[in-house]
Structure 1
Amino acid sequence: MNFNILAYTIYGLLTCYIILWVGRQFHRNGRIFIVSLFGQDTSLADTTNNLLLMGYYLFNIGYAIIQFSYWNQIQSVDELISSIALKTGRLLFVLVGLHYLNMLGIYLFAKRKNSLTIKH
């Protein structure tokens, strides 16, 4: 019996939930950092935050869809669970990596902005 269709369905639903939930958390909780970077210009900060959210969704949903093409033939329930766990774990590592890269970017941008503000 081939379990690939079941694996695709479970993985698709699981990753969509994870991507949407994490995206909402980043969008809601990261707004304050973006507002502080743009000197309290909330209009520009909100637009930037929305663009970051769109980029986040496009990148991660694209990555999740590409994972379907690398899926091996699944012949047992053990392989089904293992395969879904592996693909979901990779997605989580990508999300964590992107989060830390974004935080590094925000830190460096804020540091640069603060050093330019102090000089003037």
Structure 2
Amino acid sequence: MDLTVVAYVVYLLISVALTVWVARTLSGNGKIFLSDVLHGNEKLADAVNHLLVVGFYLVNLGFVALYLKSADGVGDARGLFEALSVKIGVVLLVLGVMHLGNVYVLNRIRRRGVMEREQTPPVPPQGWTPPAVKA
């Protein structure tokens, strides 16, 4: 079997496995964060979490598929490891950038929600007092 094909198969297996692992990790831990961001609305947090996971899969698996083609053929075992290390390293960097982008956007949303909560008074107004008349 051609070593280039072996490199493709190993690259796909590792990249897809890493993408699934990162997505599941982010999804599981992201539910708590999203629940806080969305003021305890669990159904909305689950829906947003699911949409983020689908987008994460689409972007990352699309990148993995586009990055599959190798410009140079793989001739020996050393070339196989070098090609895999570059390809998997780039996939890991893309996964990390996607993760940081998600966290950044969600943190901005969370900050906005915290600022809105701070602007509402802790106790609703109890009544109206007319202004004092200067004598």
Deviation of the 1:102 alpha carbon: 1.2
Normalised by the size of structure 1, how large is the TM-score? 0.93
- 1:93 maps to what in 2? 93
- 1:53 maps to what in 2? 53
Q: Which has the larger radius of gyration?
A: 2
Map 1:40-119 to 2 at 5 A: 40-119=40-119
Task: State the alpha-carbon separation in 2 of the partners of residues 7 and 21 from structure 1.
Answer: 21
Question: Structure 1: which 4+ aligned runs deviate by more than 4 Å?
Answer: none
Give the match's secondary structure for 2:67: helix
1:82 partner letter: E
Deviation of the 1:65 alpha carbon: 0.5
Give the match's secondary structure for 1:69: coil
RMSD value, Cα: 1.3
1:97-120 deviation digits (Å, cap 9, x = unpaired): 111111111111111111122223
Task: State the alpha-carbon separation in 2 of the partners of residues 53 and 104 from structure 1.
Answer: 16
Deviation of the 1:72 alpha carbon: 2.1
* Partners of 1:35 and 1:41 within 8 A in 2: yes
Deviation of the 1:70 alpha carbon: 4.2
Deviation of the 1:77 alpha carbon: 1.0
- 2:7 maps to what in 1? 7
What 5-or-longer segments of structure 2 have no aligned partner?
121-135
Normalised by the size of structure 2, how large is the TM-score? 0.84
Map 1:25-40 to 2 at 5 A: 25-40=25-40
1:26-58 deviation digits (Å, cap 9, x = unpaired): 100111000111111100100110010011111
Task: State the alpha-carbon separation in 2 of the partners of residues 68 and 15 from structure 1.
Answer: 10
1:80 partner letter: L
Task: State the alpha-carbon separation in 2 of the partners of residues 39 and 113 from structure 1.
Answer: 8
1:77 partner letter: A
What 5-or-longer segments of structure 1 have no aligned partner?
none
